[in-house]
Amino acid sequence: MKSDRGRDGKGAGGRPGPAAYDDLDRQLVHALQLDGRAPFSRIAEVLGVSDQTVARRYTRLRSSGAIRVFGLTDPAQLGEVVWLVRVECEPDAAASVAEALARRPDTSWVSMLSGGTEIVAVTRAATDEDSDALLLRALPRTRQVVGMTAHLLLHTFFGGRHGLVNKSGALTGRQVARLRGPDPVRDAAPAGPLTDQDRRMLEVLARDGRARPAELAAVTGWSQTTARRRLAELAADGTLYFDVDYDHRVFGLGITAMLWLSVAPADLAATGEALARHPEVGFACATTGPHNLLASVICADVQALYTYLTTRIAALGAVRQMETSPRIRTVKGPGPLQVGPHASRPHGSGPHASRPHA
C-alpha cells in the first residue's frame, strides 16, 4: 500500500513543481478523468490505498489548484454550435481583452498565444442571435481588437469527455476497465428539455463536478434522491459529462501549442483520426476556414515539441500547411472563470485606456 508521504518542490507562484507529484497523484487524476464522481472508496480499492489517502490526495491537489473536476454539458446534445475565435489585439491590450472574454458565460478555453497579441477562445451559441452577440457586435466594437476570425467547429476527433490523461498510461488497462464510468447511450430515451432546476444543478456541477447531493438538492428544491436520479438521466443520454482540468506538470508536461493545419478535404477525416491517436494531442477537431484541422498539443519542453513537429506531424503526408502558436497563458479553462488565489494571473500588465467590453 502506498503511503501519503509529503513531497518537496515548488513551482512558480508557490504551486508545486514537477517533483512534487508522484505516481499516486497521476493515478488519481486518471481515475477522475474516467469517472469524475467515482466514490473515493472505489478509487482507493482499485489503486490499492486507503480511502483516507485518496481523500487527502484529492483535497491537497484541489486546494493547491492542481486539479478541478467539472460537470459540463455537451453542446451537440443541447443543439448548440461551437465557434473557435482568434482575436488580434493592440500591443499590451491582450490581457484585458482575454479577461473580458473569460468573464462571459458562453466562453471557455480562453488563452493568450505567442507574441502576446493573439487570443484564442471557444464560444457556444444556441441561436444565431447568440453567435451575433459576440462575433458581430461585442468583439468588432472593442477598440483594442484589430482583427478577428471565427471558425465553426465541424467535428471533434479527440477531446471532450476523452482527456489527454487517458493516453498517459498512469493506470493499467485492468484498472481503467474497473474505473471507467458508463458510456452515454445516444439512442436512449432523451432526458427531456432542461428545466430551471436542471440549469441550477448544472451551474453547481460546472463549478464543482463532485458537489454533494445535498448541495444539488438545496439549489433545485428536489430531494437528494431526485437530484441523483436527474443527474444520472442527464449523464446517461450524454447531456452531462465530467472532465478534469489539471496542472500539466503532474505528468511532467511543460509547453502547450495550438496547431492550425491545412488538409485536402478528401484527407481530412483520416488525418484527423491519425492526429487524435498521437500521445501529445489533447484536442483535435475539423473546422471551417483555410486551416481546416486544429489541434492542441502538450509536450514536455520546447525540444519535445520540435521533435513532435518533425516526426509525427511530418509523417502526416496530407498536411499542406501548418501554423504553430505556443500558448503562453490560459485565462479560462473548461468551466466557469476561476477566481481566488489559484486563478490564472497575467505575466505582467500595464494601465489600459479603457475596459474592453467583449
Residue entry with cell 500521445: 279
- pLDDT for residue 142: 82
Beta strand 255-263 with 319-332 is antiparallel
The continuous run of DSSP H or E covering 247 comes out as none
- Any domain includes 59: no
User: Rounded distance, CA 31 to CA 356, Å?
Assistant: 40
CB–CB of 62/244 below 8 Å? Answer: no
Written as nine digits, the cell of 110 is: 480562453
* Per-residue pLDDT tens digits for 46-83: 999 999 999 999 999 999 999 999 999 999 889 899 99
pTM, entire model: 0.86
Mean local confidence (pLDDT), 198-227? 97
- Any domain includes 3: no
Look at 247 and 190; give whichever has higher pLDDT. Answer: 247
- Any domain includes 233: yes
Mean local confidence (pLDDT), 301-312? 98
- pLDDT for residue 137: 73
Sign, Cα dihedral of 340, 345, 348, 354: negative
The continuous run of DSSP H or E covering 227 comes out as helix 224-236
The CA distances from residue 158 to 32, 112, 138, 347, 355, in Å, are 18, 22, 30, 30, 36
Q: Is the pLDDT of residue 231 over 60?
A: yes
- pLDDT for residue 126: 82
Among 96-105, 199-208, 263-272, 282-291, where is mean pLDDT lowest? 96-105
User: Rounded distance, CA 352 to CA 190, Å?
Assistant: 48
* Number of domains into which the chain is organized: 1
Written as nine digits, the cell of 89 is: 489585439
- pLDDT for residue 355: 38
- pLDDT for residue 92: 87
- Any domain includes 196: yes
- pLDDT for residue 17: 59
Percent of the chain clearing pLDDT 90 (strictly above): 72
Cα–chain center distance at 199: 20
| Terminal-to-terminal C-alpha distance of the chain | 51
- Any domain includes 191: yes
- Residue 225: domain span: 186-237
User: Across the chain, what does the average pLDDT equal?
Assistant: 88
User: Rounded distance, CA 106 to CA 101, Å?
Assistant: 9
CB–CB of 22/9 below 8 Å? Answer: no
* Per-residue pLDDT tens digits for 3-61: 343 444 444 444 555 568 999 999 999 999 999 999 999 999 999 999 999 999 999 99
- Any domain includes 140: no
Look at 347 and 208; give whichever has higher pLDDT. Answer: 208
- pLDDT for residue 195: 95
- pLDDT for residue 264: 96
Mean local confidence (pLDDT), 81-99? 92
Q: Is the pLDDT of residue 354 over 70?
A: no
- pLDDT for residue 184: 83
CATH number of residue 227's parent domain: 1.10.10
CB–CB of 106/323 below 8 Å? Answer: no
Nearest Cα to 20, choosing from 7, 3, 2, 4? 7
User: Rounded distance, CA 21 to CA 8, Å?
Assistant: 9
- Any domain includes 174: no
- Any domain includes 203: yes
Look at 344 and 233; give whichever has higher pLDDT. Answer: 233
Q: C-alpha angle with apex 91: 88 to 96, nearest 5 degrees? A: 75
